[in-house]
Amino acid sequence: MKNRINKTNAARLLDRAQIAYSLIPYEVDEENLAATHVAEQLGEPVERVFKTLVLRGDKTGIVVCVIPGDREIDLKKAAKATGNKHVEMIHVRELQGVTGYIRGGCSPIGMKKDFPVFIHDSCRQYDSIYISAGIRGLQIEIAPEALIRFTHATVTDLV
């Protein structure tokens, strides 16, 4: 019998919206929370495993950027895309208080508030991408267009 995967808040929200997705568990390494490790565990190319970054803009406040796991965010591009003069990553100590999620388990779905979401345009190259399900050790495989619609994301160049 297959191990039952407990649904996360992100998964329940997708269920409620009747959006197709799969929950994919992976082995967590507390010493290596990088997307490259997640991709290795999933047996997928790292550019399909998207990481969720939370930034603070000087004009808009909190914004969420979702980028390929093998890339670094370009803060100038992110600022321009989000309508700010400049943005910076929030400190990891703030992450749980702002989003409800911890580092290595931050999902663009189901944060404490509906922050503006921006997703890197490379997501459209794939039939499905992986994002955090909201906890370490669990990914959501989802069609990019479904994620874009659900989060009302702006698709743009962020790297």
Q: Enumerate the β-bridge partners of residue 120.
A: 156
pLDDT at 4: 72
Structure tokens at 12: 């329940």
pLDDT at 137: 96
108 in Cβ contact with 153 (< 8 Å): yes
The one-letter amino acid at 44: E
- Walk along the chain (159 residues) in steps of 10 and give the mean pLDDT of each run: 77 98 95 94 97 98 98 98 98 97 97 97 98 97 98 98
Tell me the C-alpha distance between 32 and 54, whole Å: 19
pLDDT at 3: 61
Tell me the C-alpha distance between 125 and 134, whole Å: 24
Residue 49 burial by CB count (10 A; 0-12/13-18/19+): exposed, middle or buried? buried
The owner of tokens 């010493």 is 31
What's the angle, vertex CA 11, arms to CA 82 and CA 93, rounded to 5?
55
pLDDT at 6: 85
pLDDT at 72: 97
52 in Cβ contact with 105 (< 8 Å): no
pLDDT at 1: 41
105 in Cβ contact with 111 (< 8 Å): no
